[in-house]
Structures are given as C-alpha cells and as structure tokens.
Amino acid sequence: MPTCASVSDTIISSINAAASAYGADIAVPFFLQTCSSTYDASVLPRVYPVVQVCGAFASDAAGAKLQDWLVSPLGGLASWTGSVRDGVCTGYKIVADIAAPGGGATCLAGQFEEACASNPDPTPPPPPPAGGLVQTHTCVQGNVNVPYSVGGFYTASTVDQGGYPAVAMCVKVAKQSCKASSYCCGMDFAKVEVPVEDACKSDLRRLTINGTPQFYSWGNYPQANGGTITALKFTSMLTNLPNPDGATLCWVVRPGDCADPARFCTNGRCQVSIFASNNKCCPATLVS
C-alpha cells in the first residue's frame, strides 16, 4: 500500500535525479508539503486523497530543462502515477499535476491521468483496442482541468463536395469546468489535430464544422523511432469557431477501407487533440 512517505520519496528522488542529469539547479530542495488520505464522496466538491510536493528551481530556464522528461511516456508524471497504482487500471483515477502556489505561472507544465484499481478484477474485461496516444508536439496532453472536451464520436453517410457518396466521422466539442490554477485551464481553442494513417490520406474529401466546409492542412511529425506521424488539421479555429461549445467537427472520406475509423486513424483508434495558440497545451482524447 503506498504511503505519504513512499509516494513523496518517489517524486522527490526522481526530480533530484532528473535535475542532476539535465543540469537543472535546485534553489529550494523539494519536500513533502501536504498529504491526506481522506476520501469523501458525500460532499461537493468531493474530497480526494492528495500528496503535494513543493520546491523551486534556481531559475525558469533551469526548471524548463526538465520539461521533456516530465511529460515523456516513461518520465516524471507517468512514473509518479505508476508508483501509486497497483494492478489493472479501472475503477478510480490518479492525477499528477504541476501548478504554482496561488495559480501563478510555472517554468514546467504537465498533467497526467490514469484510471486504476488496487487489485485486478477476478474477471477482467477484454483488452482495449490496439493503439494509444501519439504526440506530435512537446505539450501537455492531459484532458483533465482543461476548458474543453471532445467525445460522442459517430460515423454517418453523407456526400462530398462533388455530391458523391462519402462517410463522415464526427465528434462533438463541449465546454467543461477546470481548476483555475491549473496550467491549461486558460488555454484557447486554436487548432484540432487528428493523426491518420498515410495510406488513407488521399481518401480525405473535406472537413466540416457544424456542417460548413472548412479548409484543412496536413502536418508531418518525425518520431523518435524514425517514423513519421501524419495529422489532419482543423486550422484557424479562433476565427472559424470562436465559441467551440457544442460544435460538431467532421472529417469526410471516400467509401471503402478507409471509411472504417480503425483503418483511417493512426494505430486503429481516432485521437482528437485540441491545441492552444502557443502549442503548450494539447489535451488529447481517444474518441473511438
């Protein structure tokens, strides 16, 4: 069973090790600030267990040296939640978040969430579809404590710009509440990306926002493994969609193999990422 001491020790030791490896000077050594095991679902807002570790780097530039490590799949945030969970990930959530006291600016930005259970289910559910989140920018992908969400994925028969049969894949945007002090709570809605398989790129016919055709572009992003991620981009969203709440975003493809979301989208699942203007926040959701 994780304890206040064991969780905080894991966080502090990993920060110290990363700071040493990346040459980031620490001005105030990191320490356990707060720890509570209280959980109370009978009140609003609900009370959750929390571990808070605080410290300070010598400068913003020093702290920023740890940004890539912090948000990497095996780095700080992911490893911290991993030290808490035990067994299959269903049933409750663990959230790791970086924030400044009083909600001020921070030299590091990060948020990571896992849904976990302390013990495996006796009859575990079937494995999820293949694939997971991909990352095209160095940015915060967590979709908790951000102002917008995407969901309600569906496909529908439609026509393309030439009047020929086509298939639309659509999601709905919704506004959601977030903690004002969280790094990405104040982000805007500047761009949306959907990673797609290269083989299906030529089958795209158009994009629509609330049924209105929109211009689109492509992004090609090199990956550490030598490959490339291709992403379909809804651009100029600050102009095209000044009020995203309730909007329906669709990408329209030709009938055929690529009209199957599992074929069209990267790794067999459709990922929709919302980007802020500065590309520092990019909450991502697997919608299919």
46-86 pLDDT, tens digit per residue, is 788 888 899 999 998 888 888 877 876 556 777 777 667 55
Whether 224 has a pLDDT exceeding 90, the answer reads: no
Mean pLDDT of the chain, nearest integer = 84
85-101 pLDDT, tens digit per residue, is 554 455 566 777 777 77
pLDDT band of residue 225 (cuts 50, 70, 90) is: confident
Region 242-262 average pLDDT: 95
Determine which helix (DSSP H) or strand (DSSP E) holds 61, and give its type and residue range: helix 60-64
Determine which helix (DSSP H) or strand (DSSP E) holds 76, and give its type and residue range: helix 76-84
User: Token pair for residue 135?
Assistant: 């990352």
Q: Which residues does 226 contact at the CB level (< 8 Å), separation at least 6? A: none
Dihedrals phi, psi of 36, to nearest 5 degrees? -145, 135
Region 144-167 average pLDDT: 92
Q: Which residues does 265 contact at the CB level (< 8 Å), separation at least 6? A: 194, 195, 196, 197, 271, 288
Region 23-37 average pLDDT: 91
Higher pLDDT: 49 or 274? It is 274
Region 149-172 average pLDDT: 93
CB 152 within 8 A of CB 234: no
107-147 pLDDT, tens digit per residue, is 777 776 665 544 444 444 444 444 468 989 989 998 989 99
Instruction: List strand residue ranges (DSSP E) for the chain, in order.
Output: 26-36, 50-57, 92-97, 111-116, 148-159, 165-175, 191-196, 204-209, 212-214, 216-222, 228-234, 248-253, 271-275, 284-286
- What was the pLDDT predicted at 22? 86
Which of 51, 54, 64, 52 is closest to 19 using CA atoms?
64
- What was the pLDDT predicted at 128? 40
Which of 124, 88, 81, 108 is closest to 26 using CA atoms?
108
- What was the pLDDT predicted at 124? 44
Whether 150 has a pLDDT exceeding 50, the answer reads: yes
- What was the pLDDT predicted at 43? 77
Whether 40 has a pLDDT exceeding 70, the answer reads: yes
207-216 pLDDT, tens digit per residue, is 999 999 998 8
* Domain residue ranges of the chain, discontinuous segments joined by +: 4-116, 148-286
Cα–Cα distance measured from residue 217 to residue 232, given in angstroms and rounded to the nearest whole number:
6
Query: Is this model's pTM higher than 0.95 or not?
Result: no
- What was the pLDDT predicted at 89? 52
183-216 pLDDT, tens digit per residue, is 899 999 999 999 999 999 999 999 999 999 998 8
Region 161-188 average pLDDT: 92
Domain 148-286 fold: Immunoglobulin-like (2.60.40)
Higher pLDDT: 133 or 238? It is 238
CB 170 within 8 A of CB 158: no
256-269 pLDDT, tens digit per residue, is 999 999 999 999 99
What sign has the CA pseudo-torsion 162, 163, 169, 175? positive
Task: For the beta carbon of residue 141, count every other beta carbon within 10 angstroms.
Answer: 23
- What was the pLDDT predicted at 72? 67
